[in-house]
Chain A
């Protein structure tokens, strides 16, 4: 309890001052690239996308700062309740889907169409962070302890798969696996897991929906059906490739302006950006993302409690997974999975989820020296 008192002495104002403003600026830069791309996607108009996206960003920024300044013990305490809340929301959309609205993935809150699966990615990491926060070395080597922890992942993934949303479930799994990896779970688990999942690919294929199978097949040979299912990938590659070194120029991307590029304001926004700004613009964006990853890693490494380490690292991995999967998809490196590019793609939930994630990472940074209570046995030092 002393610890809590100690922390309260640090005023909110001082916390605000010691916020990593460089990191905030970096995030804002990437978001601004997003606004420019959305402005271009609308044919040189702020409406309908760029302006709304900017409002969401500002709202999200407020949320980010609030989350960052909030005492990390509050988030530690809320980790399980938030996880359960996210899980309930997932069940709600699943029921709504059953009722007859098709593959619906969101709840309409009026000002935003909330996708619980996006929030779930964060709450899974929070829950895992809390679970492993109190874990001992023996726990982590204990297969039973790890199996119980893996339920945090398996339960929501099963629900998301039911939606069905292969991309999101895959991302939850990957982020979860990453958490298991850096908390120090034995390597043989990952090796045997990889072997096992390779072996189960045929079963996965059997369980996939037709459109999911089509996406995979299309990915393997996009040119086979240029006007059909392979259309997205083919047009995206044409747009990227025709951008060349320096791009076609702002607002001059013919592929996107003439609507050859599908979903240009959401999933394929990176394509639009790289068509207009070329390799230089594309590499700049990748570089900025790389800086964000690095910054997050540094925060995780400097954190002096397990909860913050796991949370910062997990959220950073989660964010980078988004980036990799989206960009690899639009370049035709992986099948089309329907994942937005965080901070850039038009979409409320994705923007908010990204900023909430960064808020938590910054919270870890601000509270890196906080003394967090332990509920289980004190781990002996190694």
Chain B
């Protein structure tokens, strides 16, 4: 009987063929595996690492800023910000619109982010909104699946505890402008800010530190699994300033009594600035979160220029506060001596021009000390005529006017001390003797900043040393300041005469600032008032009896005062300018008195900068 079995040998042969085929296919697979894993293994290992390892720049925390006691002036605070990873979102605009359902995000902002996204590589996340509240964070977290590419991260936000009081001094940080983007690789990172004004700007590089990097293991979605290697970023340096934060606050409080004023309090010997304030100010913290256009417009268009640091960039005719320069120049030049007198009839005739003393009735016979005490203009008209502009401007420069000090703030302005060469260069005209006459009382072309007036006063009362002002004591642990300054080579005797004039201005019953004297014996002050004209009151107006108080605010005189204390061993110098405030003796002197009392009470000079 036939078996229902296949042709045995035929079947076996063909099964053998198939078996051999299976075996050789297995061998091919094994060979391929060996080829990939042994021969090409290194290549694929590299590719595998390239896959899983992501190199990332890391921004260090920005250096913080402290006053001389270690009180914080600028701090970092951890906040949340919303980021957009454009590589994870197919349609950025759609993602942003969905995000706008959960948080406040206007059309203008959406467009600006879309614009920004075109400028940067898709690997760099974009900041959508900073300083996000908890409720916004939770709303986004809950809905994150619906808004691809949007995620929340920690960031540090700058906080300025003194608010208005440190606005001009410390400045603020803001987003990096397109032109700055290339300057530091750190700038491409979201949330990194750059100093825009003040110390934040001037010391931006030190505060910023160096960008670090991280090698992270990431998954296919780019999410970090763990950190493989970290080159810690170079932390930004902390700054320790000469400022006394408490004093700064108090000073700002005093300035707020006026519409617009600024002041500098410094150490006559070391140049340390204890307070530098300008009013009106603004809260710098509004710049760290999002400042809207309206707020910005308000700040920019305000006629009192709240964004300007008037203490270093406000340039004013110094008025009578300049008279010490004229007196010292004349004394040093030998044009006058202690006993030289001038008779003041209330006006001074030069050629066919008539120059008025502020006191219509005249001061009678005055010497150099009395002329300072009563601020007799005629005396200075006369001696300036003999002195000439060159010697006057030379003394002004020696006392620190008309130049920058390479100060710690970039907003510093040079002021102006005119001379013959300047006049020709500026106007192509020869200098006129009459211009020397009005220069002698700090009017005309002369301009000085409150900081320069403080330096001038310091150089007069510190024994004639060429002190320069400074703010930054330490960058990290590096000392930045000097306390010893070279001598200007001024005569001790002449300086004494100027001191006496400033002493009597305040402490003599005929002095222009007698009402503002300090009676506590160990805190007595000396100084000089100044009232500088903004708009000349015409002789017609004078006859009509128009007084300064009747003129519109921005045409009123500036009130100035420079002073120092204690009287016997000068340490603290103050200079104040109340813009359009009126008279130096009635407005500026009382303010200066209050400030000198405060600074002596706190006595910051006795404490070394704590770093």
Binding site for B on A (CB under 8 A): 132-134, 137, 178, 181-184, 235, 237-245, 254-255, 258-260, 274, 278-279, 282-283, 286, 289-290, 293-294, 297, 300-301, 304-307, 309-310, 313, 317, 320, 324, 327-328, 331, 333, 372, 374, 378-382
Minimum CB–CB distance for A239 against chain B, Å? 7
Q: Are B37 and A245 in contact (CB-based, < 8 A)?
A: yes
Q: Are B51 and A254 in contact (CB-based, < 8 A)?
A: yes
Q: Are B29 and A137 in contact (CB-based, < 8 A)?
A: no
Q: Are B7 and A137 in contact (CB-based, < 8 A)?
A: yes
Q: Contacts A260-B220, A286-B30 hold; do A242 and B48 have CB atoms under 8 A apart?
A: yes
Minimum CB–CB distance for B10 against chain A, Å? 5
Minimum CB–CB distance for B513 against chain A, Å? 77
| A-contacting 9-mer, from B13-21, B462-470, B600-608 | B13-21
**CA distance in complex: A306, B7 (Å):** 9
Q: Are A304 and B45 in contact (CB-based, < 8 A)?
A: no
Question: Taking each of A240, A313, A324, A380, which has the highest tally of chain B beta carbons within 10 Å of its own beta carbon?
Answer: A240
Minimum CB–CB distance for A368 against chain B, Å? 10
Shortest Cβ distance from A239 into B: residue: B48
**CA distance in complex: A282, B47 (Å):** 20
> Contact check: which of B14, B29, B34, B218 meets A328 at CB < 8 Å?
B29
User: Can you identify 25 A-B contacts, CB atoms within 8 angstroms?
Assistant: A178-B18, A184-B11, A239-B48, A241-B43, A242-B49, A245-B37, A255-B48, A255-B51, A258-B225, A259-B219, A282-B33, A289-B26, A293-B19, A293-B22, A294-B19, A297-B15, A300-B15, A301-B11, A309-B5, A310-B6, A317-B18, A331-B29, A331-B36, A333-B32, A379-B4
Q: Contacts A134-B4, A254-B52, A324-B29 hold; do A259 and B220 have CB atoms under 8 A apart?
A: yes
Q: Are B30 and A283 in contact (CB-based, < 8 A)?
A: yes
**CA distance in complex: A333, B25 (Å):** 12
Number of chain B interface residues as a range: 35 or more
Q: Are B41 and A242 in contact (CB-based, < 8 A)?
A: yes
Q: Are B36 and A258 in contact (CB-based, < 8 A)?
A: no
A313 — which chain B residues lie within 8 A by C-beta?
15, 18
Q: Are B225 and A181 in contact (CB-based, < 8 A)?
A: no
B122 at the interface (CB under 8 A from A): no
**CA distance in complex: A307, B6 (Å):** 9
Shortest Cβ distance from A182 into B: residue: B14
Minimum CB–CB distance for A210 against chain B, Å? 21
B1 at the interface (CB under 8 A from A): yes
Which label, helix, strand, loop or mixed, suits the secondary structure of the B interface?
A: helix
A181 — which chain B residues lie within 8 A by C-beta?
14, 17-18
Could you list 19 further interchain pairs (A-B, Cβ under 8 angstroms) beyond the known A242-B45, A245-B41, A378-B2?
A132-B6, A133-B4, A182-B11, A184-B11, A237-B44, A241-B44, A260-B220, A279-B38, A293-B22, A293-B23, A301-B11, A313-B18, A317-B18, A320-B22, A331-B32, A331-B33, A333-B28, A372-B4, A382-B10
Q: Are A274 and B4 in contact (CB-based, < 8 A)?
A: no
**Residues in B306-346 with C-beta less than 8 Å from chain A:** none
Those 6 A-B pairs whose CB atoms lie nearest each other, nearest first: A241-B44, A242-B48, A378-B2, A258-B219, A259-B220, A182-B14
Q: Are A258 and B220 in contact (CB-based, < 8 A)?
A: yes
Q: Are A259 and B221 in contact (CB-based, < 8 A)?
A: yes
B3 — which chain A residues lie within 8 A by C-beta?
304-305, 379, 381
Q: Are B4 and A258 in contact (CB-based, < 8 A)?
A: no
Q: Contacts A184-B14, A259-B221 hold; do A240 and B33 have CB atoms under 8 A apart?
A: yes
**Residues in B492-526 with C-beta less than 8 Å from chain A:** none
Shortest Cβ distance from A187 into B: residue: B14
**CA distance in complex: A259, B25 (Å):** 30
Shortest Cβ distance from B2 into A: residue: A378
Minimum CB–CB distance for B215 against chain A, Å? 13
Q: Contacts A282-B33, A331-B29 hold; do A306 and B5 have CB atoms under 8 A apart?
A: yes
B146 at the interface (CB under 8 A from A): no
B217 at the interface (CB under 8 A from A): yes
Shortest Cβ distance from B12 into A: residue: A301
Minimum CB–CB distance for A317 against chain B, Å? 6
B290 at the interface (CB under 8 A from A): no
A317 — which chain B residues lie within 8 A by C-beta?
18, 22
Cβ contacts B186-225/A at 8 Å (1 or 0 each): 0000000000000000000000000000000111110001
B133 at the interface (CB under 8 A from A): no
B26 — which chain A residues lie within 8 A by C-beta?
286, 289-290, 293, 324
B19 — which chain A residues lie within 8 A by C-beta?
293-294, 297
Minimum CB–CB distance for A241 against chain B, Å? 2
B219 — which chain A residues lie within 8 A by C-beta?
258-260
Minimum CB–CB distance for A335 against chain B, Å? 15
A282 — which chain B residues lie within 8 A by C-beta?
30, 33, 37
A297 — which chain B residues lie within 8 A by C-beta?
15, 18-19, 22
Minimum CB–CB distance for B45 against chain A, Å? 4
B5 — which chain A residues lie within 8 A by C-beta?
304-306, 309
B22 — which chain A residues lie within 8 A by C-beta?
290, 293, 297, 317, 320
Minimum CB–CB distance for B284 against chain A, Å? 44
B217 — which chain A residues lie within 8 A by C-beta?
254, 258
**CA distance in complex: A41, B33 (Å):** 20
A134 — which chain B residues lie within 8 A by C-beta?
4
Q: Are B2 and A379 in contact (CB-based, < 8 A)?
A: yes
Q: Are A274 and B14 in contact (CB-based, < 8 A)?
A: no
**CA distance in complex: A283, B31 (Å):** 9
B40 at the interface (CB under 8 A from A): yes
